[in-house]
Amino acid sequence: MTEQVPDVALDPAKPEVKPLFAISPALPESIEAQLKPVRIALNVPPSAFPARLGGFAGPADSPYARRKGAFGCAARGFGATGDRIWFFRGGKYLRYFEKPERHDETSGWLPIAGNWNVPPAFANRVDAVLTGSIPPYQGHVWLFSGDQYLRYDPNSDTVIIGAQPIAGNWNLPPEFCSGFDAVIHGAGPFLGIVWFFKGGKYVRYNLRDDVTEFGPSDITPLWRDWPEAFADGVDFAFYGTGPHENHIYFFRGDQFIRYDLDADRVVEGPAKAVESWPALGRYMPVPQLFLDERYQLFTFHGRLGNGGVVGTRTIEGRSRTEVWVITRRQEKVDTKTSSNLLESSSQQVVDNFSEQVRHDDSEQQSREDYDYGTDASFHGEAQATGLTGGEVDATLHVQGQTHDVRSSFAKAVGRQVNNARQESQDRHSQQVRTEETNTSIDQQTEQGYRQVVDNLASDRPLNFVLFQLTQEYILVLSLVDAQLAFRNGDDRAAQSVPIRDMGKLLDAVLADPAVRADVARAVTAALSAVTDATTGTDRSLLTEAGTAVDPKVRTTFRVTDTEGNLVRAIEVDGIVVDVERPVVLTPNTAIATAGIV
The domain spanning residue 83 has which CATH number?
2.110.10.10
pLDDT reading at 335 higher than 80: no
Report the share of the chain in percent with pLDDT over 70: 85
The mean pLDDT of the chain is: 82
Whether residue 395 contacts residue 527, with contact meaning beta carbons closer than 8 Å, is answered with no
Cα–Cα distance measured from residue 583 to residue 307, given in angstroms and rounded to the nearest whole number:
10
Cβ neighbours for 507, distance < 8 A, ≥ 6 positions apart: 516
pLDDT in tens, 177-195: 999 999 999 988 889 899 9
Cβ neighbours for 261, distance < 8 A, ≥ 6 positions apart: 186, 187, 188, 189, 190, 246, 247, 248
pLDDT in tens, 58-108: 878 888 888 998 899 999 988 777 788 999 999 999 999 988 877 788 888
Crossing angle of the two packed helices 347-358 and 394-428, in degrees rounded to 10: 120
Q: Last residue of some domain: 283, 315, 348?
A: 283
Q: Which of 297-301, 560-564, 592-596 has the lowest mean pLDDT?
A: 592-596
Q: Is the same domain home to 275 and 311? A: no
Cβ neighbours for 69, distance < 8 A, ≥ 6 positions apart: 62, 63, 253, 254
Cα–Cα distance measured from residue 477 to residue 260, given in angstroms and rounded to the nearest whole number:
48
Query: Averaged over 332-361, what is the pLDDT?
Result: 67
Which structural domain, as residue segments, surrounds residue 17? 2-41+287-596
Cα–Cα distance measured from residue 586 to residue 472, given in angstroms and rounded to the nearest whole number:
10
Q: Report if residue 46 sits inside a domain.
A: no
Enter the pTM of the model.
0.73
Beta strands 583-596 and 462-487: pairing type? antiparallel
Q: What pLDDT shows up at residue 197?
A: 96
Q: Report if residue 54 sits inside a domain.
A: no
pLDDT reading at 133 higher than 90: no
Q: Last residue of some domain: 263, 283, 303?
A: 283
Cβ neighbours for 24, distance < 8 A, ≥ 6 positions apart: none
Our CA dihedral for 521, 523, 528, 530, rounded to 10 degrees, sits at: 140
DSSP state, residue 35 = P
Q: Last residue of some domain: 283, 309, 335?
A: 283
Cα–Cα distance measured from residue 147 to residue 109, given in angstroms and rounded to the nearest whole number:
26
Q: Is the same domain home to 36 and 120? A: no
